[in-house]
Amino acid sequence: MNMTFFSSGDLIADRRADYARMLDEAGDFAAAADLMEQALSLVPEWPAGLAMLSAYQEHAGDVDGAIATLEVLEKLDAEDIFAARLKLAVLGAARVPAHPPGRYVEALFDSYAEHFDEALTERLDYSAPERLAALLAETEGSRHFPLAVDLGCGTGLSGEVLTGRADRLEGFDLSQNMLQKAEEKGHYDLLAQADLLLAPEESGLFGESLGRHRADLVVAADVLMYLGALGSLFENVKALIANDGLFLFSVEDGGAGADFTLLPSLRYAHSAAYVGRLLAAHGFVLRAERQTTLRKDAGEPVPGILFLAARNG
């Protein structure tokens, strides 16, 4: 999230913050933190400024300072739009939350929407939708689907690879800006806002014209890493998918340890064993599982796992 979008309301403070950002990008982390502290001396309760200061302090190796700043931020940022709790957990100063704050995720993707496709496909070698489509073809051949639902559809990258395999394609996302970009591509018959962490009746996936058990294929490409604990997601998919329908999705590979792990990227990685238990508990039979690379992060490959499961009718 580009925190420079959040003005302090003080021109001098904003200008100092902008210079601090440039110092941080140039690698002069201590100077960036010092200048950011000067900016905050003018507007001490500026949440975005505190978020920037904590980042610069961490970059400079001042972890204790970053923790202290985040603790102040947590008290000021009631909606946790700057993810202070997640960052404190990464730094070992708080327990790992079961889920990320919804407003943080929504704001993150609202801010990414305009340049999301370019960043993912050209700079990060993102290929999860294509890899999931290849797994579907490998396992199911040319099977066609009356209705496919794209959960966490973002700007519609999955819609581009699904449009030829479904008579009707629905897309749901938490970010309105992402939904607007997806609409521009013209692949979806329906686009709507939904929160996958809410119970089915509150999620936005169902309504008068959107019944339960209507989907023949549900896809979630690079979505589960922004959810943490996956119980509510599986409840929604169970309510959404028809008997013998397919659930096609990816996770970041959390190895053989905990059910899920919070990474420094503020994304969650999940273990295959945890996903397998949830599939079985919600009436799914695993059809295929593949190790893969989802994209790059800071130039390094991000290991992931692709899953294809069928609802046991």
Amino acid at 83: A
**Residue pLDDT tens, the chain, 313 long:** 555 457 888 999 999 999 999 999 999 999 999 999 999 999 999 999 999 999 999 999 999 999 999 999 999 999 999 999 999 999 999 999 999 999 999 998 888 777 765 666 656 778 889 999 999 999 999 999 999 999 999 989 899 888 889 999 999 999 999 999 999 999 999 999 999 999 999 999 998 889 999 999 999 999 999 999 999 999 999 999 999 999 999 999 999 889 999 999 999 999 999 999 999 999 999 999 999 998 888 788 899 999 999 998 6
Residue 164: CB atoms within 10 A of its CB come to 10
> How far is Cα 54 from Cα 24, in angstroms, rounded to an integer?
12
Note the CATH number of domain 3-95: 1.25.40.10
Q: Which two tokens stand for residue 4?
A: 């420079």
**In Å, how far from its chain's centre is CA 124?**
15
Q: What is the pLDDT of residue 119?
A: 62
Q: What is the pLDDT of residue 300?
A: 85
Three-class SS state of 104: helix
Rg, Å, the chain Cα set: 21
What is the per-residue DSSP string for 152-215?
T-TTTHHHHHHTTTEEEEEEEES-HHHHHHHHHHT--SEEEE--TTS-HHHHSS-BTTB-TT-E
Contact residues for 244 (Cβ-Cβ < 8 A; gap 6+): 310, 311, 313
Q: Give residue-wise pLDDT tens across range 114-169.
A: 776 566 665 677 888 999 999 999 999 999 999 999 999 998 989 988 888 999 99
Note the CATH number of domain 111-311: 3.40.50.150
The beta strand positions in the chain, using DSSP E, are 145-151, 166-173, 190-193, 215-220, 241-252, 260-262, 268-270, 284-297, 300-311
**Which of 51, 62, 63 minimizes the C-alpha distance to 91?**
63
User: For residue 300, what are the β-bridge partners?
Assistant: 297
| Sequence ranges of the domains in the chain | 3-95, 111-311
Please report how many Cα atoms fall inside a 13 Å half-sphere around the Cα of residue 123, on the Cβ side: 8
